[in-house]
Each structure stands twice: as structure tokens, then as C-alpha cells.
Structure 1
Amino acid sequence: MKRFKWLTLLLAFALFAAACGGSDSDTTEAADDTPAASDDAAADDAAVEEEEDVALSQGSDLTFHMITHSDDGPFWSVVKKGAEAAAADVGVELVWMPGNNDPGQMVIDIETAISDGSDGIASSLPSPDQLVGPLQEAVAAGINVYTLNSGVNDYNEIGATTHVGQTEFIAGQGAGNRFNAAGATHVLCGRQEQSNVGLDERCAGLEDAFSGTVTNEFVGLDADQTEQINGIKAILEADESIDGFLGTGPVIAVNGLTAANDLGRELVIGGFDVTPDIIDAIESGAIAFTVDQQQYLQGYLPVVLMFLQATNQNTAGGGLPILTGPGFITPDNAAAVKALVAEGTR
């Protein structure tokens, strides 16, 4: 039961909520130090433990579907690990359905989850125009729906319970402020997907906060890193005024560093999200920062929230999104995060 108690504490911290149980306080105040009372207390504690075991096992017949645009790369592997850990903690079956950056496949996966009678769907929303409708159908079918990672602007329209992630525009603004502080004047915002609203918002936030010039370009998919590096190099070669690069993911940020090194260019480089490679580059000082949206929580929390809604009619967020970021990893804290990255939880 230690795992279950730890889970409860994590939720309380993540949701920035606190609750006081009057009945627990009353029980504590009524405790007696006599041997007989101690025996009774021990028996009561055992009964509570047994009740908790029963409550936890009630979710064992539930099946939740997590449908994302995951390419099973380093970022999404952490999301998946968080989701699997939560499923094990609360005793449910998790069906992980990666769309590999294909909204069409995600639509198929949502329809499959509905037809399978899913007990809860957690879905990213990279292309709202294609995915809002199918998720609304899931809600109409009586399925609890949560959005994660991308979807902060659309979860209310879907009828989802809440969104778990970060506000990408605000995260981009934070990156813009850091480029200002570093003295950059012209930043290339390189995107690894052509039609992902979350990545567009990151670049838009950068442009809003940055006092210099922003060039916003799709430079190639993470799946073809050679093409991506060449795409970045072509833009850098065409414009000598670019002195900063923001990659809207961790792989593209490191590839931006490679492109700059290949050309002998010194750039202020920032990224989004966490992988071992980007942490190593930050620790060495080659990359200035990365925006940390704590993707482990984006996998973990939706499963726990779906479980609590299904078994105890609990909802969280109060109609507002549950934010997991943005935070920033810099050379000052990279070493502390590095060990957790090696364990696959950051």
C-alpha cells in the first residue's frame, strides 16, 4: 500500500490541491495509549489496509486507451513509461496506441477504442481539425476523455474532463525571454512537424516575447535526421544574420547544434523537452537551455485521473488544464536531472 499512498501524494502535489479529512483527525485525537486500545488500533489499521487493497483492486477490470502522435522516440518513451507505471499502480489495463505523427491513424485508433468499449481515452491533439470530432463521438458514447500534451485550446470543445500538459504559447514566450537575455538578435525556430498546432504555438510564443527577428520553418522530420540537419544548414547558409536556433523538440535542437558546428557558426541554441543527448549538450554548455514539460506526468496523471473518475467519480482541474510545465533545464541544474533521464523518467 505504500505505492498507493505515494500515488495520492503525487496527485496532491501535481494538482496543487490540499485537503483536510476531519474524520482522520478525530480518530487521531481519540486514540488511547492503553494496551487494549493499542490492540484495537492495530486491528483497525489492518482493516483499513484491507479496505485499501479492495479499493485498489476495483480497477482491475478497467481498460484505458492512450492515443497519441507518438513516434516512440525518446520523448514519447518517457510518456509511455509514465502511463505504464500508473496503470500498474492502480491496477488497470493500458492500451498504448502510437500514431507516428499521422492524425489519420489516430482517428482510426479512436474509433477502435470506442468500438472496443474503452473505459477511458487519453489523447494528444496535434491536429484539432481531424481529431476533435472523433473524440466528441467518444464523449457522446459515454467514455471519459482527457487530452494530453497538445490540446489545451480544444479540450473544452471536445467535452474532455481536463487537459494535462503545458501551454505551448507561454512556453515559447519563456524561450524568447531567454534568447533576449543571451543577446541573440535573429532566431530560427525550427519545427520537426509540418502540421502540429503545439509546435506552431511554441514558435508563436517565441516571436511574441523575443525582441529581435524570428524565422519560423519546418526543417525535416526527426525520423530522417540527415535531412533535418541539411534543412537547418540550408537556412543558416542563406542568412548569416541568424545567431540563435530554437528547436521545437529535443532531437531537432541537438541537430541544430550539429548543423551549426558543421558550418562553423556560433549560435545561442535552445530546445524543448528532454533526452540524454540534449542534457549532455546543456551540461557541456553547447546548448543554453531546454523547456521541460515533464512528459512523464503527461503519461502518468491521465491514467490516474481516468481511474479515479471511473471508480470514485472524482474529477480534477475544475474546468482548467492541469499544467506540467514549463520549467527550464540549464547548465545550472542539468547534472541533477541527468540521473533521472538515465532512468527513463525525465
Structure 2
Amino acid sequence: MKIRGLALAVMACCLFAGQECAAQARGCDYRLITHGADNAFWRVVSKGARDAALSLGCTVQISMFNGDLKAQQQAFIKAVAERPDGIALSLPNDELFDKAVTAAQAAGVPVIAVNNDDSRGEAGNSRLCYIGQDDEHAAYSLGLKLIEMAQRKNFDIFSAKTVLFSELPGSNFNNKRIAGMARALSEFGMQAPHVVDLSRSGEYSSAMSSYMDAGSAGLIVVAIGGAVAEYLGDAVKSSGRKPETLVAGAFDVGPRTIAAIRAGYIAATVDQQQYLQGFYSVYTLWLYGKYGLAADVDTGRNVINNSDELRRIEELSAENVR
């Protein structure tokens, strides 16, 4: 249901007429239930949801499960039984939530996907819409930028290796980002990426650094999750590789990732503007309850690598907006 322009226009109208919207929405109760954790990334999502709820005069209860998908599923089922006005749910797994979401919709509880969607979208899960990054396209865009940077360093791109560091193998966002990077590499006739599972690693930095030998051949490395990305700069720094033989990319705009870009250890990252994921989730549930409107929203695929963009992100990160 890609009526993004209409939905965003209605949201904008609500923001300019906040008192009227709050009066109309008073008493509504929403839930945000995700696989995330209490970290810098998810605190921004949470602030977006709380800000939207505040502007509408309603409440939002936020639950994070630190990758424990079974606990997340059980919390979702329990929340449905409490009959809130709507639930925003991350879908990191293609099968675990299907029946529960269908049952929720049948019980009259609207459900939208946030941050992570079913890999087949609405064909795979009956959620009303998806609010989050188009992970495949975002990874493709990042891949093209990193290849361009590698060419500027005079890499022999046909012999260059690409290593992807994964924090949550098998998850939907992980698989889509791998596919997007592979698509970019394939278009240039480059080798398929090598994927490294870091889910059992106790120390991300040293684990990643061990894959960056000091050889002279060109190497592209990408942290395809925000948690791993926060340690990529340290890994590059300790690897001993010469800067002209390595290009590093990341996802998300965590504080350590931004610092590593400024220091020159990471070349670029993708900003998914996660504040919008929390904010639009609450507003979309309100719009659906009032008007029956629900729209897919791609919250961001912008590749960040210049000082002006970094400065604005740094200014807002203290407010948990970026």
C-alpha cells in the first residue's frame, strides 16, 4: 500500500494542528514491540514513538527483547490479548510471527511492521504496511559507493575481496543487505562477498580485524549491522592495513561509527533515520484507526560520507533524534 505521499501529508497536517489531533486521539493506546535492545540505535526509535504519542495525546508502551525472538513473539501475543489500539512489530523472522499477526488482525488489533519486514512483504505476512529501511536497496547503494571509492584508490576490482560482517545471521535485514551488496558487486563483475558470522563473537573488533590481513590486494569490508558497525573503526585501525588497500563501509549512524568516519577509518555508512520509524509507526496506527490509511514508508537509504552531514547528525544525536 504505497500511498506514502498521502500518509505523510496527513501526518504533516496533524503536526501543524497538534491540539486538534491530540483531542481526537486522547485515550488511544499503542505498543511498539521489537527484537532490539537498549542501545543508542533503539533509543532513537523509542524517542520517535514517544514524541508522536505525546503530540497525539495518547500512550505507547515500548518493549525490546535483545534478539530473543521467542520472547518477543510471546510478548506480542500477550499484548494482542490486552486489545490495544494498534501494535508496531519488528519482523526479523519470516515465519515466527505470521500466525500471531493474522490472529491479531482477526481480533481487530491493527499491526504494522517496523524496522524489519517479512522478506516477501505483504505476500509473506498480513501486517498492514512496513515502516523502515529498504535494506536491499540501501545495501546496493552503499555497495556502489564503496566500489566507486575503491576505483579511486586504483583497486583491481576484479581481484578485490569483499567481506561482510554479520551480527544476526539469518535475520531478514541481514539477508536483504547481503543480497543488495551482492547485486552491486555482480554488476561490476566482482567476486561474491564472503560473509562472516559474528553472532558468537565475544569481541567484535578483534574478530573483524583478524579478517583484514596486511596484504597488498584491495579489500572491501562492510559491517552490515549497526552493533557491529560501532566496532569496525577500531578493527580497521588495529589491522595494520595501509589505507590505500582498504575501503570500509557500515550501516547506521551510531556515535562510534560517525567518529570512525571522521578519523578516516570508515569511508561511508547508510543512514536509515530510525527516529522516523518510531514516529511514523505511532502516527500510522492513529491514521489507520481514524481513516483506514496505512502506507509503506522507506525511512532512509542515504549514504553518509561528508562533513556537513556528519555535523548535523552529531548535533542531533545528543537529543536521541539521530
Q: Give the TM-score normalised by structure 1.
A: 0.79
Correspondence for 2:310 among 302, 326, 334: 334
- Structure 2 CA distance, aligned partners of 1:240 and 1:112? 55
Q: How does 1:223-234 map to 2 (within 5 A)?
A: 226-234=202-210
- Structure 2 CA distance, aligned partners of 1:157 and 1:238? 44
Question: Is the 1:192–1:249 Cα contact (8 Å) retained in structure 2?
Answer: yes
Distance 1:234 1:182, change over 3 A: same
Question: Is the 1:168–1:198 Cα contact (8 Å) retained in structure 2?
Answer: yes
Distance 1:342 1:136, change over 3 A: same
Match of 1:201 in 2: 176
Correspondence for 1:290 among 261, 266, 269: 269
Question: Is the 2:136–2:180 Cα contact (8 Å) retained in structure 1?
Answer: yes
Q: 1:142 offset after TM fit, Å?
A: 1.0
- Structure 2 CA distance, aligned partners of 1:334 and 1:305? 29
The SS at the match of 1:244 is strand
**Are 2:235 and 1:259 aligned?**
yes
Correspondence for 1:235 among 180, 205, 211: 211
Correspondence for 1:176 among 143, 147, 169: 143
Q: How does 1:261-340 map to 2 (within 5 A)?
A: 261-265=237-241, 266=243, 267-310=246-289, 312-317=290-295, 321-332=296-307, 333-340=309-316
Distance 1:194 1:14, change over 3 A: farther
**Structure 1 residue runs of 4+, over 6 Å off?**
11-14
Q: Give the TM-score normalised by structure 2.
A: 0.84
Q: How does 1:115-134 map to 2 (within 5 A)?
A: 115-134=81-100
Q: 1:54 offset after TM fit, Å?
A: 5.7
Q: Which amino acid aligns with 1:327?
A: N
Question: Is the 2:86–2:110 Cα contact (8 Å) retained in structure 1?
Answer: yes
Correspondence for 1:166 among 108, 112, 133: 133
Q: Mind listing any 5+ residue stretches in structure 2 that lack a counterpart? A: none
Question: Is the 2:31–2:84 Cα contact (8 Å) retained in structure 1?
Answer: yes
Correspondence for 1:136 among 88, 91, 102: 102
Distance 1:137 1:335, change over 3 A: same
**Greater relative contact order (Cα < 8 A, sep 6+):** 2
CA RMSD of aligned residues (A): 2.6
Question: Is the 1:194–1:218 Cα contact (8 Å) retained in structure 2?
Answer: yes
**Are 2:34 and 1:56 aligned?**
no
Question: Is the 1:146–1:155 Cα contact (8 Å) retained in structure 2?
Answer: no
Question: Number of aligned pairs?
Answer: 299
The SS at the match of 2:63 is strand
Task: Return the structure number with greater helix share.
Answer: 1
Question: Is the 1:120–1:144 Cα contact (8 Å) retained in structure 2?
Answer: yes
Q: 1:251 offset after TM fit, Å?
A: 3.4
The SS at the match of 2:97 is helix
Q: Mind listing any 5+ residue stretches in structure 1 that lack a counterpart? A: 1-10, 22-48
Question: Is the 1:87–1:303 Cα contact (8 Å) retained in structure 2?
Answer: yes
